[in-house]
Structures are given as C-alpha cells and as structure tokens.
Amino acid sequence: MLKKAVMMALLACLLLFMAAECKEGPAGAGAAGAPSSPGTASTGSSGGGGGSRAPDIDAFTRQIEYWKTYYPDKLDYIKKLLYKEPFTTAKYVPPAVWIYYPSNTTNLSRFEDLAIGAMVQTENPIEIRRALYLTLEIQAPGEAQFKPAKVGTQIIQVNEYSDKNTTIRIFPELKSLSFLARMGEVRIKINVTDGQYRYDSMMQEDYPQMGYYGQLKLNVYNIPPQINSSTMKVSPDPAKWDDFIQYSASLQALGQNQSSTSLDNGQKAVEVTLHIFDKDKEINNITKPFLLGDPVIFSTRDKGIFNESDSGKNFTYRYSATDGVLGGANTTWTEMVEGPHLRPLAKIRVSDLLIKPEDDNYYWWQRYLFALGIKSQNKNGEVVTVSLYTDTPSHPKKFVSSQSVRVSGENYTEVTFADTRPFNVADRDQPFRYYFTYSSPDQSGKYESSWMDGPKKINPKLMQYEMASLPGVANLFLILMGALLTGILLERRFFR
C-alpha cells in the first residue's frame, strides 16, 4: 500500500512538471548532446486560445525512461523525496513472552485460587513498538491439543512497558480451574501476535524460580464436594407417614473460595442423592442437582417415600454427593443419621382431659377426680388400658392408678379415676401436673397424653384439722394414751 501511494504521488508530480513544461514550450534546453524530452502529442482545438496536453501512460513511461537515462541523479532525488524505506523492518524484534505464575506449587486443587498472567519483554524502542495481542490457551487432561481459554484477549500497548522494557499482565477472568471435567496434568501457553508476527510462549525457556514459564504444567486434583453431617436435619420428627417431611443439609467444597459465585468458570452442578434406610436396608433414594453453596433440600413432595405400612417404624438416612469429575475421587458420603421416627396409625381418639378436687382448696389430703374421653377408630370398638400419672417436685412421674376399659367406635367413652389421693404431705405448697398413658396410639400417634398443668399449686396447709377442734383433741388424747400405755409396759417389763 505504501509503494502504491508513493507511485501515485510520483505520478502527480510528473503531471505537474509536464504541465509546467508545456506552458514554457518544448523541452529544448536540455544538457548538451541530450535529445529533446519526449513530450506528449498535442491535440488540436477547434476553438481559439490554444489546446491542452493530455498525457497518457505511454507518454509518462517515455518521460521516466528519459529521466532515468539523462538525469539519473535527479530521478533518485525525486524518489528519496517521495518515498522513504521504513526503518522498522530492519530493526524490529518480536518481544519475548512468558507465562507468569508466581505460586510455589504446581500441585493444586481445582477449587484453589489461581493467578496466571503474561510477562512481556521487548528490545524495541518505543518508536517502533507494536501492540501485542495475548491469547491464553489450555490443554486439558485427556485432550490432544490446546484450546483457547474462556478469558478475554489481553492487549499490551506500546507505552505500557517499565524502564526495564518489561510488563506483566494478569488474565483476571481465570480465578480457578473448577471448570475442568477431568483431573490430571494441565498445560498452559500464550499465543502472541503483533499484526505481522504470530508465535507463542513455548519458544521461551522456563525460569521457575522467577515464576516465568514458556509452557506451564499444573497437576490438578479434585476435592469432591461434601455435606457436613452437623447440618443434616429432618422435620418434623416424629411424623406421620403421610406428613410433608423435609430433609435439609448444606453442600460445600473444601478449598473453594467462598466469596466466589457458585458457577465461576462454568462450574457444573453437583448431584446429591438422599438414601433412606430401614435398619440396614436401603428402601428408597432421591437424586437432585444442586450448586455449591446452595441449601440441599429434599421432601416427600419430590417423591413418595413412605406408605401406611411404615407407620410406627424408625428410619435412618445419609447423603452421597458427586461432581462427575473424572481422573480422581468424585463422590463423598455422609455418616448415617436417625430420622424420621414415624408415629403408628391412630387407633383411638382422646379428648376432654380434666381434674376435679373435692373442693377448690387443693389440699394434699383431698380426694381428686381425673377423667378423659376415648373413642375407638374402629367401629367395632376395642379394649384400651389407661394409666394415670401425677408429677410434683417431690414425686416426679408418680403412678397413681390403671384400668382397662372397652370403648366404642361411635361415641366418646368417659374414663374416670375417682376418689384418688395422689398427693401426700411432702407435696404441699408445690405445683403439679398429670398425664395419661394408653395401650393404643391416639390421633397424634402417641401412647401418652400431653402434660396437663394443675390449675394452681397444692395448698400449703400442713395439717388437716385444727388443734381446737374435736378431731384435734381426739388425736392429742390418743397420742397421750399411747405414750402412757407404752410407759406402763416398759416399767412392768424392765421393773423400772
């Protein structure tokens, strides 16, 4: 392009020169012995005022040949005036490019933070430098050739070099090698172009002590994702077999930069499987994809897990997580955790628990009435054994009484514990609770009722009768008579 431009400029100058010559007349004032300059033929003009000279390519060629023969120095001068050879072609040297990797280890996990750049060194003065375009290429394990990495091309401008004619440029998008689908040796190089030359960093020698490599080789290994057993939960527990049951946990990867996003560098989702066991036998499982850092949630809405026959059983579960990475470990397992505990099928329904003392004073010596209503879930009814328990700080979970009752499947049957004396003097001035147990599971799948609090504390009064009352005097008389009779017997026995 430059030569064409110069030739066009030379042609323009020659045309101007020839036009001037035509105005002055034929070129007859040449050097002695030199023939006349070969001009162009004149074309006549039908009108007055003279004609115009229109040079064609043949006339221009003859003019150049004439100058070359008789005025070679002038022709050379015109050539130098119009065209100058670029001095960069002889002195320009393509800059040297290395991979810049300042880390001390070439063995790393695919989740470890990674910083890779280019170190460029040039010998060219700034007048003849060129912009460099750097492309990072990676040869993944199991692949036969290098492929461009999914990072942007870095451009080194002519004014970006230090006083030592060097510069370092980091590839910011390459934060880790988590995108690799296979583990093993990874090779990395840099392709370089300046618009004229195209080469790569493999031309250079390695200087690992300085962090410069012609070709960087990394041994990449996998740390499989795992679920921390302490985060595993199942709710509700206990539950009925047809309840909405949810399993939850937290998925993490050791060595992963937790500040990075879950899909840095195109990282794939992790497959997590929930395994459910009845004793030592796996009875069901569910598999779903999750991203690192996201909560792991399974539920009975995803898949039917339990059925009616599982009522009353206790189950265990665990997780497995796999990232599908080849060439190394890719699956981890959690420990076994209990849950859920399924309640048995309800056989009875219970309601209307109550307590009624002889009066509202709640003395420890009083008789109390406890009652509840029971209805069978079976139309034919069944026999249920019901037990009563009370609870005070002095006598926790004290058994009071038990009875077997046949209940119907149509109406509630009232089960009563009448004329019971569940407390003694040690329970005075204390709060109390009571509850019932039954031989069949109730509507909640439980074999006992909830704790029912007493309406108020047991009365603090210590004695049932006043000293001035007839029972009080009678009691005192009996005590004195007992002491007197005991003294008489001892005296007659020991003669004292």
Burial (CB count <10 Å: 0-12, 13-18, 19+), residue 285: middle
Architecture of the 93-221 domain: Sandwich (2.60)
- pLDDT of 12 > 80? The answer is no
CB atoms within 10 A of CB 165: 15
What is the Cα–Cα distance from 14 to 11, expressed in whole angstroms? 5
Confidence of residue 5 (pLDDT cuts 50, 70, 90): low
Confidence of residue 267 (pLDDT cuts 50, 70, 90): low
CB atoms within 10 A of CB 442: 22
CATH of domain 348-453: 2.60.40.10
Q: What is the pLDDT of residue 211?
A: 93
Phi and psi at residue 78, in whole multiples of 5°? -65, -40
**367 three-class SS:** coil
Confidence of residue 30 (pLDDT cuts 50, 70, 90): very low
Task: Specify the higher pLDDT residue, 3 or 46.
Answer: 3
- pLDDT of 29 > 90? The answer is no
Task: Specify the higher pLDDT residue, 378 or 10.
Answer: 378
Cα→Cα distances 171→51, 100, 134, Å: 70, 10, 10
What is the Cα–Cα distance from 290 to 309, expressed in whole angstroms? 32
pTM: 0.54
Percent of the chain residues topping a pLDDT of 70: 81
Strand partners of residue 135: 191
For the residues 53-71, what does the mean pLDDT come to? 77
- pLDDT tens per residue across span 151-193: 999 999 999 999 889 999 999 999 988 888 888 999 999 999 9
- pLDDT of 22 > 90? The answer is no
The boundaries of every CATH 2.60.40.3880 domain in the chain are 93-221
The boundaries of every CATH 2.60.40.2060 domain in the chain are 226-258+268-341
Q: What is the pLDDT of residue 72?
A: 83
- pLDDT of 44 > 60? The answer is no
Please tell me the total number of residues recorded for the chain in this structure.
Answer: 496
What is the Cα–Cα distance from 328 to 331, expressed in whole angstroms? 9
- pLDDT tens per residue across span 220-235: 988 888 888 889 999 9
For the residues 271-283, what does the mean pLDDT come to? 93
Confidence of residue 277 (pLDDT cuts 50, 70, 90): very high
Q: Which residues contact 215 (CB under 8 A, 6 or more apart)?
A: 99, 187, 188, 189, 201, 202, 206
- pLDDT of 137 > 80? The answer is yes
What is the Cα–Cα distance from 484 to 474, expressed in whole angstroms? 15
Domain 226-258+268-341 fold: Immunoglobulin-like (2.60.40)
Task: Specify the higher pLDDT residue, 471 or 491.
Answer: 491
Task: Specify the higher pLDDT residue, 51 or 205.
Answer: 205
- pLDDT tens per residue across span 311-353: 889 999 999 998 878 766 678 899 999 999 998 888 999 999 9
For the residues 104-111, what does the mean pLDDT come to? 87
Cis peptide before 148 (omega within 30 of 0): no
- pLDDT of 251 > 90? The answer is no
Q: What is the pLDDT of residue 257?
A: 45
Q: What is the pLDDT of residue 265?
A: 42
Q: What is the pLDDT of residue 273?
A: 93
Q: What is the pLDDT of residue 200?
A: 95
Is the alpha carbon torsion for 413, 418, 423, 429 positive or negative? Answer: positive
Q: What is the pLDDT of residue 65?
A: 83
For the residues 410-416, what does the mean pLDDT come to? 92
- pLDDT of 303 > 60? The answer is yes
For the residues 12-16, what does the mean pLDDT come to? 58
The boundaries of every CATH 2.60.40.10 domain in the chain are 348-453
Q: Which residues contact 328 (CB under 8 A, 6 or more apart)?
A: 183, 221, 222
Q: Which residues contact 463 (CB under 8 A, 6 or more apart)?
A: none
Q: Residue 298: enclosing H or E segment and its boundaries?
A: strand 295-299
CB atoms within 10 A of CB 46: 5
Count how many Cα atoms sit within 13 Å of the Cα of residue 495 in the half-sphere of its side chain: 0
- pLDDT of 198 > 60? The answer is yes
The region of weakest confidence among 13-22, 234-243, 450-459 is 13-22
Q: What is the pLDDT of residue 172?
A: 93
- pLDDT of 59 > 60? The answer is yes
For the residues 201-223, what does the mean pLDDT come to? 93
